[in-house]
Amino acid sequence: MESGPLAELRVVEIGEGVAVATCGKLLADLGADVVKVEPPGGDRLRRLGPFPGNVPDPNRSAAFLATNTSKRGITLDIALPTGRDLLRRLVQRADCLLESFPPGYLDGLGCGYEALSHLNPRLIMASITPFGQKGRLQRWKAHDINVLAAAAVTHGLGRPEREPLTLPAWQADKFAGLNAAVSVLIAEMARRRSGAGTHIDVAEVDCWATFMAGVGLQPFLDEGRIRMRSGHRALHQPHLDATLPCKDGYVTLDTPQRRQWGSLLRAIGREDMLEDPRFARPLDMTDRWAEDVERSLEPWLMAHTREEIFQLARQAQFPAAPVYTVGEVLKVEHLRARGYWSAVPADGSDSLIYPGPPFRLSATPWRIRRPAPRLGEHNREVYVEELGLSEEELVALRQHGVI
């Protein structure tokens, strides 16, 4: 199998959910040998779906398949003494352990960082939890929606007269997984100099509070201004910054410069708006007169398609973008030309399409090296061929519910 830039990195991933799986996927798609450890009944993502034909199948869950490419997969019950012994043996051979259990759980099993680092002093261990390993909320459970609310993200989403909204598609979990993957690479660079491992504490709420600092937190710290929900438009921005309906969908228009705002109005034959006293001050257009501005543009927008508006924007040189559906993004020629989409054979079905990375490495390219593992697919390969167990011992592990 073709190697990648992280081909020498050996990773054990244990824990359930999207955050730790995303971290492992990012490393695996870059070439790391990631062994995903699931309980004998499988990761809970296997039961979420959606499923092809709406027929539940733990090996065909879209949620699981999308977050576990390029990994090998084994089963193991670490609540059992034999399971914990096998986990320790796996960690002794690994460079990195990814986990997402509540703080203190692995310590209680004798498999926390302090215990494992005695077995493997070079071990990098990344713990990904909603609120981190320390602090008043460390033991609180949370879902994606809770993390976004706690990080003040939810407060800024939606219409001002309605309840706040949250982000779709496990964004808090995925962003935490990305941060964890980056921190693992930083720790690996440090280990190459010092020879010592480290324990990485990734709190999902910290990731989002940090990410939002420039958007919501900084205006409050600098100006005492709380960023409010503004629906389809941005407030406190010069001129027009909004997503508006058009003939066949929606377009986003953003004209922060007076020159761009003038180019838009001249292109659609509304130069008169440049002389309107309501719009003399750029910030007033979004903070006081946004609805009037949008009503003035509505007849022209509703008479033109997204593509017509986009082409006109290119010619007149004002920022605009069509709002695509997911199905339309799959057909965008630019992404196809970059080889962004990857077709990967799936278990019992035609190839599945996966998105690629937002970067390209010329010498050691990113690629999905194998589809997500079937439940326990690599048990024999890992336990017998690598750890040295006998076939009889493997059968006994199954019979006793260890794997």
The average pLDDT across 206-223 equals 74
For the ranges 329-333, 364-368, 397-401, the lowest mean pLDDT is seen at: 364-368
100 and 70 belong to one structural domain: yes
Same domain? For 315 and 344 the reply is: no
For residues 150-184, b (16+ Cβ closer than 10 Å) or e, as one string?
A: bbbbbbbebeeeeeebbbeebbbbbbbbbbbbebb
Q: Which of 262, 294, 323 is the last residue of a domain?
A: 323
Domain match, 205 and 251 both: no
Percent of the chain at pLDDT exceeding 90? 73
Residues 300-358: tens digit of each pLDDT: 999 999 999 999 999 999 999 999 999 999 999 999 998 889 888 776 567 888 888 87
Q: Residue 214 has what pLDDT?
A: 53
Mean pLDDT of 380-402: 97
Residues 19 and 133 in one domain: yes
Q: d(Cα 252, Cα 310) in Å, to the nearest integer?
A: 10
214 or 170, greater pLDDT = 170
66 lies in a domain? yes
Residue 215 pLDDT > 80 = no
Report the phi/psi class of residue 158: left, alpha or beta, with left for phi > 0 and alpha for psi in -120 to 50.
Answer: left
Neighbours of 400 (CB within 10 A): 12
Interval 11-27 mean pLDDT: 96
Do 341 and 290 reside in the same domain of the chain?
no
Q: How many domains does the chain have?
A: 2
Q: Strand, coil or helix: what is 12?
A: strand
DSSP, collapsed to helix, strand or coil, labels residue 121 as coil
Domain of 307 in residue numbering reads as 241-323
| Among the listed residues 30, 91, 1, the one whose alpha carbon sits nearest the alpha carbon of residue 358 | 30
The whole-number average pLDDT for the span 219-242 is 82
Reported as a pLDDT band with limits 50, 70 and 90, residue 115 is very high
In this structure, what CATH number is given to the domain that contains residue 287? 3.30.1540.10
Q: What is the CATH number of the domain that holds 168?
A: 3.40.50.10540
| 101, 122, 126, 176 from 133: Cα distances, Å | 10, 21, 11, 14
Say whether both 341 and 319 belong to one domain: no
Q: Is residue 171 one of the residues assigned to a domain? A: yes
Cis peptide, bond prior to residue 58, ω within 30 of zero: no
Q: Pick from 199, 75, 206: which is nearest to 132 by CA?
A: 206
Q: Are residues 394 and 267 in the same domain?
A: no
pLDDT reading at 1 higher than 60: no
**Which pLDDT value is given to residue 212?**
67
Q: Is residue 69 over pLDDT 90? A: yes
Report the share of the chain in percent with pLDDT over 70. 97
Note whether residue 229 is domain-resident: no
pLDDT (mean) for 229-258: 91
Quick one: pLDDT at residue 213?
58
Domain match, 149 and 282 both = no
Give the lowest-confidence range in 49-63, 194-208, 324-338, 339-353.
339-353
Are 346 and 314 in a shared domain?
no
Quick check: is 223 in a domain? Answer: no
Location of structure tokens 């440049």: 274
Compute the mean pLDDT over every residue in the chain, rounded to the nearest whole number. Answer: 92
Lowest average pLDDT, out of 43-47, 86-90, 165-169, goes to 165-169
What average pLDDT score do residues 198-211 get? 92
Please say whether the beta carbons of 279 and 265 come within 8 A: no
Residues in the chain: 403
Q: Per the domain annotation, does 374 fall within a domain?
A: yes
Q: Specify the pLDDT at position 125.
A: 98
Instruction: Tell me what pLDDT residue 319 has.
Output: 95
Residues 302 and 160 in one domain: no
Q: Is the pTM higher than 0.75?
A: yes
Q: Domain boundary at 293, 323, 353, which?
A: 323
- State residue 236 phi and psi, 5-degree precision: 60, 35
pLDDT of residue 305: 98
Q: Return the number of other C-beta atoms located less than 10 Å from residue 217's C-beta.
A: 16
Statement to judge: residues 178 and 304 lie in one domain: no
In a domain, 161, yes or no: yes
Encode pLDDT of 120-144 as tens digits.
999 999 999 999 999 999 999 999 9
Write down which residue in 323, 356, 391 finishes a domain.
323
Domain-located, residue 45: yes
Q: Which helix (H) or strand (E) holds 108?
A: helix 105-108
The more confidently predicted of residues 278 and 218 is: 278
70 in any annotated domain: yes
The one-letter amino acid at 310? F
372 and 302 assigned to the same domain: no
